[in-house]
Amino acid sequence: MINIFDYDLPKLDSESFQTLLKNKNVEIKTIVSNTLQTPQTFIQDKDEWLVVLKGCAKLEINGIVHKLKSGDTLFIAANTKHILLKTKKVVVWLSVYIQ
């Protein structure tokens, strides 16, 4: 059994990742972002569906800024550049990666 909210807080302006489940073509992770001020760019080779469990963040995809809050979900297609612009305090994400 794993509790999603049992995590070590990463240093300010950084993130930590924990794999919860990996099975066949699916991987589920929790991500904890601690007060990000430095934009972080990602391009993954798999589809990603994410949900914000706690906190608020700004994420840019194809020039569109998405303001995300607790409960919001977003799908990011494989090989799509996305930029996590900033987070307000601590953000806890659940990300599902599909190969």
Q: What pLDDT, on a 0 to 100 scale, did the predictor assign at position 1? A: 84
Which class for 67: exposed (0-12), middle (13-18), buried (19 or more C-beta within 10 A)?
exposed
Q: What pLDDT, on a 0 to 100 scale, did the predictor assign at position 2? A: 86
Q: What pLDDT, on a 0 to 100 scale, did the predictor assign at position 15? A: 96
* Contact between 95 and 46 (Cβ < 8 Å): no
CATH of the domain at 93: 2.60.120.10
* Contact between 57 and 15 (Cβ < 8 Å): no
Q: How many domains does the chain have?
A: 1
Q: How far apart are CA 11 and CA 15, in angstroms?
A: 8
Structure confidence by residue, pLDDT tens digits, 45-79: 999 999 999 999 999 999 999 999 999 999 999 99
Q: Is residue 37 part of a domain?
A: yes
Global confidence as pTM: 0.93
Joined together, the tokens standing for residue 97 give 């990666």
Q: Is residue 8 part of a domain?
A: no
In which domain, by residue range, is 89 found? 14-98
Percent of the chain with pLDDT over 70: 100
